[in-house]
């Protein structure tokens, strides 16, 4: 663990904790390392989603009815 790391207490489902411990053992990594990696991936995914929303913010909005009509016209439903 790096000198700049912060300590936190988290509560998780016992089955998730068990799976995480097994993965840590099998990969010779710490629980903290696995949790940090998963959180970084989740945050990066969120950042990508936000960027996508920002990129499409100027697109015209469609109502639900308009979207259904388009799907029907295209033969998707």
pLDDT in tens, 12-71: 999 999 999 999 999 999 999 999 999 999 999 999 999 998 998 898 899 999 999 999
pLDDT confidence of residue 3? 73
Domain that holds residue 43: 14-73
Would you say residue 42 lies in a domain? Answer: yes
Would you say residue 8 lies in a domain? Answer: no
Would you say residue 30 lies in a domain? Answer: yes
| pTM greater than 0.85 | no
Q: What angle do CA 50, 12, 38 make, to 5 degrees?
A: 40
Reported confidence tier of residue 2, pLDDT bands at 50, 70, 90: low
Dihedral angle sign, alpha carbons of residues 32, 22, 24, 16 = negative
């Amino acid at each position: 663990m790096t000198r700049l790391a912060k300590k936190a207490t988290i509560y998780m489902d016992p089955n998730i904790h068990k799976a995480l411990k097994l993965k840590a053992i099998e990969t010779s990594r710490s629980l903290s390392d696995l949790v940090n990696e998963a959180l970084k991936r989740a945050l990066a995914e969120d950042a990508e989603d936000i960027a996508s929303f920002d990129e499409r913010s100027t697109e015209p909005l469609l109502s639900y009815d308009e979207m259904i009509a388009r799907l029907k016209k295209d033969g998707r439903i």
